[in-house]
A = this chain, B = another copy of it.
Amino acid sequence: MKAPFTSLAGFRAVFDALPQPDAAALEAATVRNGQLTKPKGALGRLEGLAIWYAGWVGDGRPALERPQVAIFAGNHGIAARGVSAFPPEVTVQMVANYRAGGAAVNQLCKVAGASMTVTELDLDRPTLDFTQGPAMTEDELVAALAAGWEAVEDEADLLVVGEMGIGNTTAAAAIAAALFGGSAGEWTGRGSGVEGAALEGKTLVVAQGLERHAEALSDPVEVLRRLGGRELAAMAGAIARARVGRIPVILDGFICSAAAAVLHAIRPGALDHAVAGHVSAEGAHPAVLARLGKEPILELGMRLGEGTGAIVAINILRSAVACLSGMATFAEAGVAEG
């Protein structure tokens, strides 16, 4: 779907009238869940997930058939500051790996039965080092938000957004610190594996970015423009587009959650169509999820990005939906109720 905005004012206007879940589908799913051949509540979290999904797709007995994994790749000016364990050229190398089918995300999409799209965002034109000025111009931010919006397939019935971008845990840490407050150190973590002096340097870069843009950080869209990156903006745009189309979303790890947090900051409730797929091993991810009010489905110590944690959670949601929609009721099966 073509993005319905060509300016940041237009993007902001999206949040003035967000659709809600279908009340009739929620009610039908809740009633049906109570009639299925199992002790009440015995499927635990699966029951709530299935009902949530039913509400958003507007079907009390839903199917989950066309999950989409949308990967966004961007390059960051701050990568030149030594904030990552990997050199900046790895972004484009990993995109080639996605296209060749060799990355973790490719294998996980196969297991999850998900389609996968990869969107490269001006990889030859890194964002500006945010300690020197805003990472993106307004036009660049609008373009990245629109690219994310338009990458979502209209027929998707579940969305996962993933990312690749050397330096992007630094951008995500800066966004989280700007949105939630606290020191740079609270939000800056190991990313792909920085430690010791390199981690101190990364934290300093985040602190410098926060200081440089301090006067503008009360506006979440400005936080994204000044401290973010193209793939973070695209993730935000894709998650917003999913909300408008009532497509349920599974959030991935720290970077995805930071991008999503921008929408939450624009409008509380903007992430009601999203669940947290997992809690990652990146130190500050639990704190971001807590601020978003999201309980992770999985806790497997993953910290790879690319959407990987959320993709592993797809089959959990699929299991939940399959039980809600496929199980017999006590009456249908002739089983005595307790």
The answer, yes or no, to whether A302 is at the interface (CB within 8 Å) is yes
User: Is the beta-carbon distance between A302 and B43 smaller than 8 angstroms?
Assistant: yes
User: Which has the most chain B C-beta neighbours within 10 Å: A39, A297, A299?
Assistant: A39
Q: Please report A residues at the B interface, Cβ cutoff 8 Å.
A: 36-46, 84-87, 89-90, 93-94, 96-97, 100, 102-104, 106-108, 110-112, 192-193, 281, 297-304, 308, 311-312, 315-316, 318-319, 322-323, 326-328, 332-338
Cα distance A300–B277 in the bound complex, in angstroms: 12
Query: Which residue of B46, B93, B102, B326 is within 8 Å of A300 (Cβ)?
Result: B46
Beyond the given A37-B104, A44-B302, A97-B335, could you list 4 further A-B residue pairs with CB under 8 A, ordered by the A residue number? A43-B308, A46-B302, A103-B327, A106-B327
CB-CB under 8 A from A84, the residues of chain B are 338
Query: Which residue of B106, B192, B319 is within 8 Å of A107 (Cβ)?
Result: B319
Cα distance A111–B322 in the bound complex, in angstroms: 8
Cα distance A107–B50 in the bound complex, in angstroms: 13
CB-CB under 8 A from A108, the residues of chain B are 319, 322-323
**Also in contact, A85 and B46, with CB within 8 A (given A93-B335, A94-B335, A107-B327):** no
User: Is the beta-carbon distance between B44 and A301 smaller than 8 angstroms?
Assistant: yes
CB-CB under 8 A from A85, the residues of chain B are 39, 338
Q: Look across to chain B and name the residue whose beta carbon is closest to the beta carbon of A337.
A: B86
CB-CB under 8 A from A311, the residues of chain B are 319
Query: Which residue of B43, B111, B328, B332 is within 8 Å of A315 (Cβ)?
Result: B111
Closest 8 CB pairs of A and B: A102-B328, A44-B301, A85-B338, A42-B304, A107-B322, A315-B315, A39-B192, A44-B302
What are 19 contact pairs spanning A and B, CB under 8 A?
A37-B104, A39-B304, A40-B193, A45-B302, A86-B337, A89-B336, A93-B334, A93-B335, A94-B335, A96-B334, A97-B335, A100-B328, A104-B327, A106-B327, A108-B319, A108-B322, A110-B322, A193-B338, A315-B315
Closest Cβ of chain B to A183, distance in Å, is 25
Cα distance A338–B299 in the bound complex, in angstroms: 25
**Also in contact, A106 and B326, with CB within 8 A (given A281-B44, A338-B85):** yes
**Also in contact, A304 and B193, with CB within 8 A (given A86-B338, A298-B298, A316-B312):** no
User: Which has the most chain B C-beta neighbours within 10 Å: A44, A85, A304?
Assistant: A44
User: Is the beta-carbon distance between B45 and A301 smaller than 8 angstroms?
Assistant: yes
Q: Look across to chain B and name the residue whose beta carbon is closest to the beta carbon of A94.
A: B335
User: Which has the most chain B C-beta neighbours within 10 Å: A40, A89, A281, A298?
Assistant: A298
Closest Cβ of chain B to A204, distance in Å, is 20
Q: Look across to chain B and name the residue whose beta carbon is closest to the beta carbon of A326.
A: B107
User: Is the beta-carbon distance between A319 and B37 smaller than 8 angstroms?
Assistant: no
Closest Cβ of chain B to A107, distance in Å, is 4
CB-CB under 8 A from A41, the residues of chain B are 303
Q: Look across to chain B and name the residue whose beta carbon is closest to the beta carbon of A85.
A: B338
User: Is the beta-carbon distance between B102 and A192 smaller than 8 angstroms?
Assistant: no
User: Is the beta-carbon distance between A335 and B90 smaller than 8 angstroms?
Assistant: yes
